[in-house]
Amino acid sequence: MVALKRFRTTGPSFADLVPYAGLVENGVLLLKDGSLMAGWYFAGPDSESATDTERNELSRQINAVLARLGSGWMIQVEAARVPTFAYPDKDRCHFPDPVTRAIDDERRTHFGREQGHFESKHALVLTYRPVESRKTKLTKYVYSDEKSRRMSYADTVLSVFKNAVREVEQYLASTISIARMETREVADRGGDRTARYDELLQFIRFCTTGENHPIRLPDAPMRPLDPLLRNGRDHSRKQRSGKL
């Protein structure tokens, strides 16, 4: 027999480094340590035309919303530059006078002639790591009603997370433009089946591999996400090496 021990890789693999486990709810991602994650795309008002007082007030309002979360929460703010290839058509131009319409036509012509245009997208990712179940048993029976006592630990954590996410979204929507990363359903070509695509998973894959395109979710619930995130990485590596 041939000794294969020296050919085996003992270091951490891609699956060991990626913390994502599976989707447990629409737009809710379960991590391997038991944490829950949700995300939004957001856009703030024009900061260059705002005064210092207006910018400070906006910061105060956002800080007041995020300070309500308490302990166990992590906030990540990401900025990404993605290629863009489309400019609004003439029929979507709503400038009221000939001068601004002429400026818009010139920009449209310049955009179609040049290449390498990019668009900035900003994302807010919220992660919650609950306390251990044995630490919450006494609190559950002291402060909870009879209905919530019958809920499992996982259902309780998910309910707390969804309520907090709903509150954060409601309060932030009054200060900035925000859109939740959710699972979208699209009818298949034949129309008999429905394909599901999750925007949060697409954003995570973009951060992991640099590829930004929709990912079709498997029909089986709670399937491990490591192959979905890794396939694009392996595919691009094989293309560079000339194996495909």
In this prediction, residue 222 has a pLDDT band, given cuts at 50, 70 and 90, of: low
| DSSP states along 92-103 | G---SSHHHHHH
Is the alpha carbon torsion for 142, 144, 148, 151 positive or negative?
negative
Instruction: Give me the percent of the chain exceeding a pLDDT of 70.
Output: 76
Distance CA 118, CA 95 (A): 23
Query: And the tokens for 115?
Result: 């290449």
Query: Average per-residue pLDDT in the chain?
Result: 78
In contact, 89 and 104? CB cutoff 8 Å: no
Taking 50 as the threshold, does the pLDDT of residue 107 lie above it? yes
191 torsion bin: left (phi>0), alpha (psi -120 to 50), beta (else): left
Rounded (5°) CA angle 51-55-60: 145
Give the pLDDT score at 240: 35
Query: And the tokens for 158?
Result: 């998910």
At residue 10, what is the residue type?
A: T
Give the pLDDT score at 151: 66
In this prediction, residue 142 has a pLDDT band, given cuts at 50, 70 and 90, of: very low
Give the pLDDT score at 123: 92
Instruction: Give me the percent of the chain exceeding a pLDDT of 90.
Output: 17
Backbone phi, then psi, for 226, in 5-degree steps? -55, -45
Distance CA 137, CA 149 (A): 9
Closest CA to 30 of 228, 225, 244: 225
Report the range out of 92-96, 108-112, 179-183, 223-227 with the highest average pLDDT.
179-183
Distance CA 110, CA 107 (A): 5
Give the pLDDT score at 135: 53
Query: And the tokens for 75?
Result: 């906030």
Give the pLDDT score at 42: 92
Taking 80 as the threshold, does the pLDDT of residue 5 lie above it? no
Does residue 33 or residue 9 have the better pLDDT?
A: 33
Give the pLDDT score at 238: 39
Closest CA to 164 of 72, 78, 41, 63: 72
Within 45-132, residue ranges assigned H as helices are 52-66, 98-113
Distance CA 21, CA 125 (A): 16
